[in-house]
Amino acid sequence: MKVVEKFAARTTVAGGLLTSARVRSGLSQRELATRAGVAQSTIARIESGHADPAFTTIMRILAAAGLEMRIRLEPVDDHDLVLHAIDELRSPQERERVAAVHERNVAKFVEGGRRAGPHD
């Protein structure tokens, strides 16, 4: 996907957020800058990772794109770490067996979806 590849090269969180918001809103850098009351070069510098704006600035620019960022602190979900630790306790043969069963189950799931047909 071209948009994802475009964002993969971003070096800052702010740059990625701003680019994503702008593209999602269908705005050019100039349009977003006008709405946010900043220079187009400011948007370009943030998106390219050459500026590190204050949090309030990011929030104002996102609002100009019609979006808001919501941040929530949550307890760490160690589910994957636990599964990895359990897997490490298995022998290589048992890991292969589990992987084969998983592969068969995924194939059955995919086939069931094909038989069910497209859903909207």
For the stretch 68-94, pLDDT in tens is 999 899 888 888 888 888 889 999 999
In angstroms, the CA 100 to CA 120 distance is 32
Overall domain count for the chain: 2
Query: End-to-end CA distance of the chain, in Å?
Result: 22
pTM for the model = 0.56
Q: Are residues 45 and 13 in the same domain?
A: yes
Rounded CA-CA distance 2/5 in Å is 5
Residue 86 counted as domain residue: yes
Count the alpha carbons within 13 Å of 105 in the hemisphere toward its beta carbon: 6
State the Cα–Cα distance between residues 83 and 17, nearest whole angstrom.
32
Token output for 23: 């593209």
Shared domain for 60 and 83, answered yes or no, is no
- Average pLDDT (30-48) is 96
Place of tokens 């600035």: 57
Does the pLDDT at position 61 exceed 50? yes
Which of the residue ranges 2-11, 25-34, 79-88 would you say has the lowest mean pLDDT?
2-11
Q: How many CB atoms lie within 10 A of CB 117?
A: 6
Domain end (from 36, 64, 92): 64
What is the rounded CA–CA span in Å between residue 31 and residue 35? 6
Q: Which domain holds residue 87?
A: 79-116
Determine the average pLDDT of the residues in 11-32: 93
Task: Name which residue leads in pLDDT, 120 or 20.
Answer: 20
Examine residue 30 and state whether it is found in any structural domain, yes or no.
yes
Residue 64 has pLDDT above 70, yes or no: yes
| pLDDT band with cut points at 50, 70 and 90 for residue 44 | very high
98 and 53 within one domain: no
Phi, psi of 118, deg, nearest 5: -70, 145
CATH of the domain at 29: 1.10.260.40
